[in-house]
Amino acid sequence: MNILISNDDGIHARGLRVLAEALSSLGEVWVVAPDRERSAASHSLTLNRPLRATKVGPTWYTVDGTPTDCIALAVMGMIKRKFDLVASGINLGANMGDDVTYSGTVSAAFEATLLGVPAFAISIAAHRRVDFTAAARVAVLLAELIAKNGLPTNTLLNVNVPNRRPSQIKGIVITQQGRRHYGEIIVRKVDPRGKAYYWIGGKEPSWEPSEESDYAAVTAGFISITPLHLDLTNPAALKELRRWQFPWDAYDEADAHPRSRRRARRNRSSAD
């Protein structure tokens, strides 16, 4: 089994090392990770400059780009291997609810999914005093299950692990993406030269209560696994939007002039 590992906390992150070590029990592990922290890099792809990769170990590389760049390079030919699995993490800090769209960790797994490689992202719901034991264990378990069962098409697994000893974790549940409440999270300060600057994310987010959600599971002490896909279409809204009137037929080349637009509207209503 050829396994590719990346993250958004960067090549020096402890979670990356833990994940690589854990999954090395299942096959050959390759690591391609950003050369510095790229948390909240989203699904960003670097197209406006060249990317450099540096070999830092027999199967370890850093790239001066985003997590998505790392996966794209590794899967599309920089490493001459066909990967059976991509694992991204173990991220410091949960990636739940609406936050998954900001997440570089989740986006690395998305990129792998787009390129046809089964993938999961794994995060631990803490930034300090982190115990990686449970996360490492569930990563191995998931890798084995994915190897055995495969994944549904266009689907990646987003795993969030409470920061507890394995014996304190209540189990594993399959969840839905939760919803966050966005409050006042811009912090304004003044620099030594009297100029204002801002920090995004001053407060811990609050969440909409939902029993099925990733957030509810992790808060209750369960490991949460959410199947995600890249189709952002809202199926519930399709029907409503299709009821809207889009009077495109009233427009023609002459519409640049407001008077002719009025005429077009008049013509259209008389034709109705």
Nearer to Mn ion, 39 or 66 (CB): 39
Nearer to Mn ion, 200 or 236 (CB): 200
Residues 70 and 78: their CA atoms lie apart, in Å, by 10
Q: Which of 4, 18, 22, 39 binds Mn ion (CB under 5 A)?
A: 39
Q: Is 68 in the site for Mn ion (CB under 5 A)?
A: no
Could you give the C-alpha distances from 9 to 35, 41, 61, 62, 112, in angstroms and in order? 9, 10, 14, 12, 18
Of 9-17, 19-27, 56-64, 251-259, the segment contacting Mn ion by CB under 5 A is 9-17
Least Å distance between CB 147 and Mn ion?
26
Nearer to Mn ion, 8 or 111 (CB): 8
3-state helix, strand, coil in the chain (%, to 5): 35, 25, 40
Of 88-96, 165-173, 183-191, 256-264, the segment contacting Mn ion by CB under 5 A is 88-96
**Which residues are 71's β-sheet partners?**
none
Of 4-12, 74-82, 137-145, 257-265, the segment contacting Mn ion by CB under 5 A is 4-12
Assess contact for 45 and 68: CB atoms under 8 A.
yes
Helix (H), strand (E) at residue 169: none
Q: Which of 6, 66, 91, 163 binds Mn ion (CB under 5 A)?
A: 91
User: How many Å separate Cα 69 from the centre of its chain?
Assistant: 14
Nearer to Mn ion, 84 or 98 (CB): 98
Using DSSP's 3-state secondary structure scheme, residue 71 falls into helix
Assess contact for 6 and 86: CB atoms under 8 A.
yes
Read off the amino acid at residue 272.
D
Nearer to Mn ion, 9 or 69 (CB): 9
Least Å distance between CB 105 and Mn ion?
6
Nearer to Mn ion, 138 or 211 (CB): 138
Tokens of 60: 């370890």
Least Å distance between CB 67 and Mn ion?
9
Q: Which residue is nearest to Mn ion (CB)?
A: 39
Nearer to Mn ion, 39 or 160 (CB): 39
137: closest CA among 106, 164, 176?
Answer: 164
Least Å distance between CB 4 and Mn ion?
18
Q: Is 158 in the site for Mn ion (CB under 5 A)?
A: no
Q: What is the CA radius of gyration of the chain?
A: 23
- Phi, psi values for residue 18, rounded to 5°: -60, -45
Assess contact for 109 and 88: CB atoms under 8 A.
yes
Read off the amino acid at residue 210.
S
Footprint (CB under 5 A) of Mn ion, residues 96-135:
none
Query: What is the size of the binding site for Mn ion (CB under 5 A)?
Result: 4
Q: Is 8 in the site for Mn ion (CB under 5 A)?
A: yes
Asked if the peptide bond before residue 225 counts as cis, ω within 30 degrees of 0, the response is no
Q: Could you list the residues that contact Mn ion (CB under 5 A)? A: 8-9, 39, 91
